[in-house]
Amino acid sequence: MSFSIIPRKIYEVKSLVSGQIVVEEQLGAYSLSVQNLIQSGGLAKGIWVKALKNVQKFKCSNVQNSLILGLGGGTVAHLIKQTWPQAKITGIELDPEVIKIAKKYFHLGTMNGLTIINADAFAWLKQVSSPKFELIIVDLYLGSRFPPQAEKSDFFNQLKKILAQDGVIIFNRLNSQHSKAFQRHLAKHFFRIELVKTATNTFACCRRV
């Protein structure tokens, strides 16, 4: 690998699912962008570190099973393993092209305890009832678009069915004029919500008790 100070494009593809996908390298680290928005690596790593630290404030220290809806390049999976090495992770990713990239450039193919499933997250949720997850990540962006299904009461109820009693769900949302409406809707379904705000994103960390 040649290390570049300036971000260097090393791979680009047009996906039928996600549209334009670009992988860049800078100082030996990779980032994954979809439709010109960084999804994994780069700045995404820093903001997720802040979000996951908040999970520990909920005293959710025993994460045995974690679910990631919208696996992407796997930045969150790596951070979960750093914090909870024993955790088993199920990663749901809609785009097979993203899975190929994640395995090639982000080392997901060799991560112990990670199961990658190429599926639509909403269809998959309707079919699963176990195991119970102590940590669920909802990061279902396609570029800058957050699917409207992920804002529905049915979706929240399906998540609660597989959430452990003291588990935490983290919803990742880009900051927009719709953010507060989404947070008010979450408040109807979850007893406790804490927000982690960055310049670009807001993470809603939710518990049902």
* Structure confidence by residue, pLDDT tens digits, 152-187: 999 999 999 999 988 999 999 988 867 788 888 999
Instruction: Identify the band that residue 151 occupies on the pLDDT scale cut at 50, 70 and 90.
Output: very high
Q: What is the largest CA-CA distance in the chain?
A: 51
User: Is pLDDT at 78 greater than 70 in this prediction?
Assistant: yes
- Residue 46's pLDDT is what? 81
Give 47-73 pLDDT, tens digit per residue. 888 888 777 666 566 899 999 999 999
Question: How far is C-alpha 137 from the geometric centre of its chain's CA atoms?
Answer: 5
- Residue 115's pLDDT is what? 97
Report d(CA 81, CA 137) in Å as an integer: 14
Domains of the chain: 44-207 (3.40.50.150)
Report d(CA 171, CA 6) in Å as an integer: 32
* Choice between 171 and 6, residue whose per-residue pLDDT is larger: 171
Residue 71 falls in which region: left (phi positive, over 0), alpha (psi -120 to 50) or beta: alpha
CB atoms within 10 A of CB 41: 23
**Crossing angle of helices 75-83 and 43-57, rounded to 10°:** 40
Q: Is 139 considered catalytic here?
A: yes
Instruction: Identify the band that residue 44 occupies on the pLDDT scale cut at 50, 70 and 90.
Output: confident
Give 20-41 pLDDT, tens digit per residue. 999 999 888 899 999 988 888 8
Instruction: Identify the band that residue 129 occupies on the pLDDT scale cut at 50, 70 and 90.
Output: confident
Question: How far is C-alpha 99 from the geometric centre of its chain's CA atoms?
Answer: 14
What mean pLDDT, rounded, does the chain reach? 89
User: Is pLDDT at 110 greater than 60 in this prediction?
Assistant: yes
Beta strand 88-93 with 65-69 is parallel
Residue 59's SS3 state is coil
Beta strand 114-118 with 88-93 is parallel
Q: Is the C-alpha dihedral spanning 60, 66, 71, 77 positive or negative?
A: positive
- Residue 145's pLDDT is what? 83
Report d(CA 155, CA 132) in Å as an integer: 16
Task: Give me the catalytic one of 95, 120, 139, 154.
Answer: 139
Report d(CA 79, CA 171) in Å as an integer: 16
- Residue 89's pLDDT is what? 98
Out of 42-56, 57-71, 74-88, 98-112, pick the least confident: 42-56
Asked if residues 178 and 168 have their Cβ atoms less than 8 Å apart, the reply is: no
